Amino acid sequence: MSVSSSDASVTVAVRLFARYAELLGTESLALTLPAGATVGQVIETLRRQPGGALLPPRLLVARNLIQAGESEQVAPGDEVAVLPPMSGG
Amino acid sequence: MYLVSGPIDPSALLADVSAPDRGGVASFLGVVRDHHAGREVLRLEYSAYPAMAELECEHILAEARGRWPCGVTLRHRLGTLEIGDLAVAVLAASAHRAAAFDACRYVIEQLKRRVPIWKREFFADGTDAWVDPTAASEFAPSRRDAT
């Protein structure tokens, strides 16, 4: 059986907000990683994007609207949001 | 929808939480103030991750209803706000005042900690900055001083 590219890779939608969106110069981008990639690997890839090195060392991340740990695997179409320290109220 | 783009009307929220068996209503109203860490503030801009923020607000309100017998709701305004504008309102109603105060306090404290909303301050000197409550800078609001 042949392995299609969709089996070998996973594309996620990364959302950026507030100061982080300014650092990267965008509010959203699509990142493609090897299948089985984790939230932590999505963040590593994000740090290699233009401006990504300016992100702080510790990041709060949500996967599909729920706070996520670095070891969580991502699935195709997941929304991975990188959240600056919250300052509502 | 807990996030709104227009003015917040607390009296409409009062109707939402009121009931014949609820004799005490507590409210917290967060208003845009003209100073932060000694600097003059001209206006604020709030942005959010709306889908997650709505979900988190729903969770926080459900937690409050689970801990205290109360009716409780909130609104948070987004966009550009001027000094004196109402940015956030929490109303909690219960049979007696203690539960109403406790539920109201719980919701505003959790909102500030957990709901993905971000505040940008525009200062009188022409500069602006995202508020970062975790930053160890002179511009970080203390927990007590924060709106």
Question: Looking at residue B137, what is its pLDDT?
Answer: 53
- Does residue B137 form part of some domain? no
* Whole-Å CA distances, B100 to A35, B51, B106, B107: 50, 28, 10, 11
> Could you give the percent of chain A with pLDDT greater than 90?
91
Question: What is the domain-level CATH number for residue B48?
Answer: 3.90.1170.40
Question: Looking at residue B19, what is its pLDDT?
Answer: 98
Judged against a pLDDT cut of 80, whether residue B136 lies above it is answered with no
- Does residue B72 form part of some domain? yes
Phi, psi of A42 (to 5 degrees): -60, -45
CB contact under 8 A, A88 and B52: no
- Does residue B21 form part of some domain? yes
Hey, is the C-beta of B44 within 8 angstroms of any chain A C-beta?
A: no
The mean pLDDT value for A38-53 works out to: 98
Shortest distance between the Cα of B147 and any Cα of chain A, in A, equals 6
Model's pTM, two decimal places?
Answer: 0.90
CB contact under 8 A, B111 and A84: no
Spatial separation of the C-alpha atoms in residues A65 and B42, rounded to whole Å: 33
CB contact under 8 A, B112 and A86: yes
CB contact under 8 A, A19 and B118: yes
Hey, is the C-beta of B142 within 8 angstroms of any chain A C-beta?
A: no
Which residue, B4, B44, B25, B2, is CA-closest to B147? Answer: B44
DSSP at A83? E
- Does residue B135 form part of some domain? no
Domains of chain A: 8-83 (3.10.20.30)
- Does residue B145 form part of some domain? no
- Does residue B138 form part of some domain? no
Spatial separation of the C-alpha atoms in residues A85 and A66, rounded to whole Å: 15
Instruction: Name residue B119's beta-bridge partners.
Output: B46
* Whole-Å CA distances, B109 to A89, B75, B121, B134, B143: 9, 14, 21, 15, 10
CB contact under 8 A, B115 and A19: no
- Shortest CA distance from A81: residue in chain B: B49
The mean pLDDT value for B4-20 works out to: 97
Question: Looking at residue B63, what is its pLDDT?
Answer: 98
Hey, is the C-beta of B116 within 8 angstroms of any chain A C-beta?
A: yes
Judged against a pLDDT cut of 70, whether residue A3 lies above it is answered with no
Spatial separation of the C-alpha atoms in residues A16 and A26, rounded to whole Å: 7
Give ∠ CA A36-A37-A43 in degrees, rounded to 5. 170
Domain count for chain B, please give it.
1
- Does residue B136 form part of some domain? no
Helices marked H in B48-145: 50-67, 97-114
Residues spanned by the domain of B13: 3-122
- Does residue B131 form part of some domain? no
The string of pLDDT tens digits covering residues B57-113 is 999 999 999 999 999 999 999 999 999 999 999 999 999 999 999 999 999 999 999
Question: Looking at residue A36, what is its pLDDT?
Answer: 96
The label of the residue with tokens 């709104």 reads B4
